[in-house]
Structure 1
Amino acid sequence: MYNGIILETSEIYFTLIYASKGYQLHNILIDFEDKPDGVSQGRVCKINLEGTEELFFVKCHHNGPRPSQSQYSNSGAPDVRELFVYKVFELLNILGNVYFFVPSNGRPWDLFIATEGVKNLNLFGDLKKEVNLPALAFIELLQFVLQLRDVGTNLSNCGQTEDGKPVIVDFSIPDYQEDFVLNAEDIMAYLAAKEYSQLARRQE
């Protein structure tokens, strides 16, 4: 099963990461839980380090097999745009640290993405407090400039921290068959801010 490869590879990778930081192997305790949702196969990785816990969300890349696909051979090549966006978000502190790694006994394009859990995160879909409009506007700007999908229109993929900083936890890359262009629909969707109206309805 593909998820078995994710578990094995993640455990080896994070054990090496934290051992290199000076932790003793017997103090690195790694456990996994099912990923709550999403279209990519993956797991929630909990790492206990001498009483403190680190949380990572590990999944295959966008072109990898879906949860309904159990065959290891169903993975396609990673889209470099997806990796680029993750690193941009990391540099902008839009999400936690990002790690890319591959199975030691797999193919190079069977790439996994691990994102560090953001502390004190409130997803817009579950938000019980006032929305920080500058944070929401920044998320919309990033979605527009980077031409992302499944961000502002999916309130479980974005939110804000307790102090109002913007967070994006997941996104999708559109499949372009021609040169990168912005069509009229893309521009109007941004200017009309349809996502804002959806958020307002959720809070009524």
Structure 2
Amino acid sequence: MVVLNKIYTKTGDAGETALGNGARVAKHSMRVTAYGTVDEVNATVGLARLHADGETDEALARIQNDLFDLGADLCRPDMEMDGEVEYPPLRMADSQVERLEAEIDDMNEALEPLRSFILPGGSALAAHLHLCRTVSRRSERLAVELATVESVNPAAVKYLNRLSDWFFVAGRMANDEGKSDVLWVPGANR
């Protein structure tokens, strides 16, 4: 259980923060940037939920919880030590990726195939979901970059990759099952 009695600690005043294993690193380190961007994705999902209801809101709530799991995963760099610690860290699981895939497939069945790229927008929910998509893509790029120099759970990267796809398809669903998608017209303003 997490207990936060005091919100500010002053331990980061010199530009460092603690990872999940207790190690102190610069706040601009690749790992902190990666899980900080996951937090940013979560905040955009919170905005999208202001416009969602029913099953979409429930799915977004699950994603928000997953994103906290993902942040917890990314803040623990010592994956090779997972089996040796008294309390193994929380890691993303393939089942979370598979759930996203199943939800994408279910939503996609209601959609006509795309014949053009679409512009972010349409309904308020769709616009917010496209923002979620772009921030999750950035988060994925940062996690992939981090994985080139430090250990990163492969399921975490897969989750981020599927998540942006989920937001894309959900955005189309939010636009009257794609009927109100805003289509890109190449060179329209030349």
TM-score by length of 1: 0.29
Higher helix proportion, which one? 2
Higher relative contact order (CA 8 A, sep 6+): 2
Higher strand proportion, which one? 1
